[in-house]
Amino acid sequence: PPHHDDDPNPNPQLDEPNVPVVVQQPRSIVYNCRCPPELDLEQLLATSTLPKLQETMEYILLIKNASLDDLIAKMTPETLMRIWNPPQRLIVIESAGA
């Protein structure tokens, strides 16, 4: 008998008419989504000991608490209007390096 590696047709089912060929379908991947953990940023800032980490946490808290309605920022109504409605046309910068 011929050795398996010497067989010219390793899948004899393909030559036989009326023999169904089973094709494996790829399995669908199911991802389990989890809610991100709730973080207390103030507590992280209070417990951080490294100066660079403290600075980073302070910056994150500033961004988290930022508001366009901040009275200290003193944004004019025109500035707020421009932030809320940015230009929709192409902006040409004449001197990019200056």
pLDDT at 52: 95
pLDDT at 50: 93
pLDDT at 6: 57
Q: Are 41 and 60 in contact (CB under 8 A)?
A: yes
pLDDT at 3: 52
Q: What is the mean pLDDT of each run of 10 residues along the chain (98 residues)?
A: 55 60 74 85 90 93 87 86 89 77
pLDDT at 47: 92
- pTM here is 0.42
